[in-house]
Amino acid sequence: MKKSVLIGLIGLLLSVSVQANDSTKVVLKTLVPESQHPVLFQLVGQILNSYHYRKVKIDDKLSSDLLDNYIENLDPGKVYFLKEDIQKFEKFRYQFDDDLLQGNVQKAFDIYNTYQTHLEDRIYFTLDLLKQDFNFSSNDSFEARREKADWPKNYKEYDALWYKKAKSEVLQLKADGKDEKTYKEILTKRYKNLLKQLSKTKNEDVYSYFANSLTELADPHTNYFSPRAAEDFNQSMSLNLEGIGAQLQTENEYTKIREIIKGGPAEKSKQLFANDKIVAVGQGKDGEMVNILDWRIDDVVSLIRGKKGTLVRLEIISHDAVNNKSKIIELVRDKILLEDQSAKCSVHEVTRNGVKERTGVIMLPNFYLDVAAMSRGDANYKSTTRDVKKLILQLKDSSIQSLVVDLRNNGGGSLQEAVELTGLFIKSGPVVQVKDAIGITKSEEDKDESITWDGPLAVLVNRFSASASEIFAAAIQDYNRGIIIGEKTYGKGTVQNLMDLNSFMMVDGIKLGQIKITIAKFYRISGGSTQFKGVIPDIEFPSIYADKEYGEEASKYALPYDEINPMKYTPAGNVKMILPELARKHEQRMKTSLEYSYLIEDIEAMKKAKAKIWYTLNEARYKNELETADKQKKEREAAKAKLKENKGGTTNLILDESCEILLDLMGK
């Protein structure tokens, strides 16, 4: 699968001039390096070699990896290049390292120009196909996931591949009830719109794509931002955006949801989830649905982002969709503010032995700190630790007996807050170790000996709990202070710094952009890194999200797990001694839990959908597969709804079970 390219990184599309007498006819311009690109390429290489945590070596291995990564990023589905192109590019395999030292980017542009010639050819080929009729009674199929396939050997294979690709797109629309006239109009407009998008590509876009193919070799969190991309990135970091509250990335021809931001319209709607793909975007109730397949990521962001209170319609393919069946959802844009990211609390009741037991629950979307307000001396500045402390005191007044800190989907944030939050649950001591690129290790410690909550504690995590979340969960686990429950975490144990490239050199007053670079690595106080391996829960739930596809393990260039010397610290509890008994009781409950059985069914359905590589092009069989999947989904949803009704209108398997585990811990 093609690796993700984060929001703000420029997509790859053609630079073209449109002829006035034919809206679909374009004349490709040969894309060439600009004056700043050679020195900028050298500079990025020097920074990776000197400042990156792993001190990237500029050698033949780097050159070979760069060629493979650049080609994979351009053509992850192996549908644009021919086998003969790949063979021709082989002569570059061990030359990119020398080019990096000399500031030569011409080969990258040569490869891209070959790519754009093929892309133009395939668009016109598809437009011609759409003028013809398709036969859907044959038993052929289309290889939709081609990561392990080979490039077409000749034009006969090339045309056959694209015929099936077009036929698959037609069949998806036909199965949605579109007649021939309508589906041909939709697809013709889709490819003509793509031509319009092609005209927006500049030389800078090609350089950006090549530069990021290089930075990704250092690790997946090291990225080059062109001047325009840097503006978008800095704006996104402010959390003061008007939009839907989702981070996007490209994957093959799709724009995919990388992360749903807590407190945003997407999260509140419960209609959009991580790994859903966006196919088209429409403005308002009646605006035309604009297909965005193969669009630049920054253009997609511009289309989705908008003023607070306005409506946007998204055509999406859900992460668990069968045969890539799409649906349309509506979202009202809103501002994503720091206040929406604040910690919140509630009281969760579980009945045991006829008694209602009360557990406090703190939902923590991220680790936030209003640095500006703190710096100007505002006594009421917002911070995670200050807010959580207040919430714990409120919950104490509500006579809770145990506490759950919910870090599911918490992607991290302030390291300082992760350390100070840990201090609310331990007397004092080290929380995390940080090792820099030079090899110097320092520890971050809680020095406040006061404890806000000394009762039973559970921390909930999932595959999207990352960075600062992992630091907090790991510290609670190492101190033996509480029980970690949920899924294995993301495994992001690295620290990034943003560098302005103009601070290194000026090139005729041209803005050079920025580079986000990994400079350090986090380690637990017990010595192991949170990088790559993540935090393994004490009580683990199965996850829909496979390790190799989500989290740090999804990137073959991620920094590895390793260990350093442990620190001296005093355990704050004895949870580990009774974990086997807690696990045994948990497993007994899960054997008779309908909710748990539904979770297993959902996971199996997701695995089946993800494992599917070939899609039938037989209309009757295709529709039968959709109808069968729809029937199974409705039956499962009906069963879940009945269970929810029987339980008084609410079901929350992992939270309910966390409270049960805490009751076991208390001996009730």
Positions marked active-site: 467, 478, 492
Rounded (10°) CA dihedral 547, 548, 554, 557: 120
- Specify whether the backbone of 51 is left (phi greater than 0), alpha (psi in -120 to 50) or beta: alpha
**What Å distances lie between residue 240 and 298, 308, 378, CA to CA?**
18, 11, 20
Structure tokens at 97: 């390292």
CB 347, CB 395: distance < 8 Å:
yes
Structure tokens at 126: 């598809």
CB 321, CB 612: distance < 8 Å:
no
Nearby residues of 45 by Cβ (< 8 Å), 6 or more positions away: 56, 58, 100, 101, 214
Rounded Cα distance between 222 and 230, Å, is 13
Structure tokens at 494: 């690295």
CB 62, CB 218: distance < 8 Å:
no
State how beta strands 483-486 and 539-540 pair: parallel
User: What's the count of helices (H) and strands (E) in the chain, helices before strands?
Assistant: 19, 24
Rounded Cα distance between 5 and 224, Å, is 11
CB 384, CB 368: distance < 8 Å:
yes
CB 247, CB 9: distance < 8 Å:
no
For residue 364, which of 382, 341, 381 has the smallest C-alpha distance?
A: 341
By the 10 Å C-beta count (0-12 exposed, 13-18 middle, 19+ buried), 383 is classed as buried
Rounded Cα distance between 62 and 73, Å, is 16
The DSSP string of 371-410 is: HHHHHTT-TT--BHHHHHHHHHHHHHHTT-SEEEEE-TT-
Structure tokens at 628: 């069968």
Half-sphere exposure of 371 (CA within 13 A, CB side): 7
Query: Could you write out the three-class secondary structure of 446-463?
Result: ECCCCCCCCCCEEEEECC
